[in-house]
């Protein structure tokens, strides 16, 4: 349900809410590993001082799924804080404004355990539905934290042991870093900020959780609860590399931004025929609207 039409069924009391940002049509939010790392660290940083908890998440190249617990007011405040932070980052790093808007979000209230389990699976399996990766091999979700035997392992860099200025640089947050936050390869570990216990309680045991993922993974045709999946052969990040190569070798420019509309249409046709890129991907890679692509392909 769109934000403007959403009514809190919990009457201001704590509950579980599922936030899905709008799928960007002609742009990518996260383009490479560094972008995704900033996204994950933003999820962790925005929880500092927040009055809600993050149960589950998945960051895709053009949208996000967040499963939050708390009052609707506090969950909404967390989401708005995250959108503001990412918007400022996009403006500073790419010179892009207006890409993320607070109201461009779908919100669902989760009212029972069955629904919580289904939404958690839906979130974790999003990369599989998009044909990007298997749920547990995808790095930019909370899939690895549930029923894991690594919760008590003392690995990773303890952020609170670092100089204050260094922590602020890593998290881009002036608030005091929790002592539980640890980082590995430039990313705050999921076990430090994801409230995995609530999801684990909903499934009951590891066998039920992993069996649910396995059963879903064996589906020959994936049907979504909130829309239809696009069949993707290559990830956006892989296609970006192909696009760069085509631009340089065949159009003799450095990027798509230097191509006129006619050349972008030709590029889209090449990506479609050579790599099986779908219309949604082509829109994000070339900036051509899906309506125009319908006429082209």
Residue 202 has pLDDT above 90, yes or no: yes
pLDDT tens by residue, 41-87: 999 999 999 999 999 999 999 899 999 999 999 999 999 999 999 99
> Which pLDDT value is given to residue 228?
41
Q: How far is CA 139 from CA 127, 128, 132, 142, 202, in A?
A: 10, 12, 11, 8, 23
> Which pLDDT value is given to residue 273?
81
Report the distance separating Cα 151 and Cα 149, nearest Å.
6
Specify the range with the lowest mean pLDDT, choosing from 58-67, 112-121, 208-217, 246-255: 208-217
Q: Which fold has domain 3-217?
A: Alpha-Beta Plaits (3.30.70)
Delimit the domains of the chain by residue range.
Answer: 3-217, 236-296
Q: How far is CA 121 from CA 63, 87, 107, 128, 264, in A?
A: 17, 28, 17, 11, 37
Burial zone of 53 (CB within 10 Å; 0-12 exposed, 13-18 middle, 19+ buried): buried
pTM of the complete model: 0.76
């Amino acid at each position: 349900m769109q934000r403007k039409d959403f009514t809190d069924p919990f009457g201001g009391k704590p509950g579980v809410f599922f936030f899905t940002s709008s799928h960007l049509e002609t742009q990518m939010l996260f383009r490479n590993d560094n972008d995704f790392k900033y996204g994950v660290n933003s999820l962790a940083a925005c929880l500092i001082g927040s009055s809600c908890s993050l149960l589950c998440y998945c960051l895709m190249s053009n949208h996000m799924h967040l499963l939050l617990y708390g009052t609707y007011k506090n969950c909404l405040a967390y989401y708005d804080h995250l959108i503001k932070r990412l918007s400022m980052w996009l403006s500073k790093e790419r010179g892009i404004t207006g890409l993320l808007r607070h109201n461009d979000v779908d919100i669902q209230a989760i009212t029972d355990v069955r629904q919580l389990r289904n939404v958690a699976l839906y979130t974790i399996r999003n990369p599989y539905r998009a044909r990007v990766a298997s749920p547990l091999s995808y790095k930019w979700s909370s899939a690895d934290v549930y029923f894991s035997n690594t919760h008590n392992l003392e690995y990773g860099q303890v952020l609170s042991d670092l100089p204050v200025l260094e922590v602020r640089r890593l998290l881009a947050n002036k608030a005091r870093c929790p002592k539980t936050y640890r980082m590995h390869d430039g990313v705050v570990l999921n076990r430090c900020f994801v409230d995995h216990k609530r999801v684990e309680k909903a499934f009951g045991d590891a066998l039920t959780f992993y069996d649910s993922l396995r059963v879903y993974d064996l589906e020959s045709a994936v049907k979504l609860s909130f829309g239809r999946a696009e069949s993707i052969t290559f990830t956006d990040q892989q296609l970006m590399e192909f696009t760069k190569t085509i631009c340089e070798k065949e159009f003799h420019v450095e990027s798509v931004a230097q191509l006129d509309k006619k050349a972008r249409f030709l590029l889209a046709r090449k990506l479609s025929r050579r790599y099986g890129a779908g219309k949604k991907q082509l829109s994000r890679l070339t900036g051509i609207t899906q309506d125009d692509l319908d006429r082209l392909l």
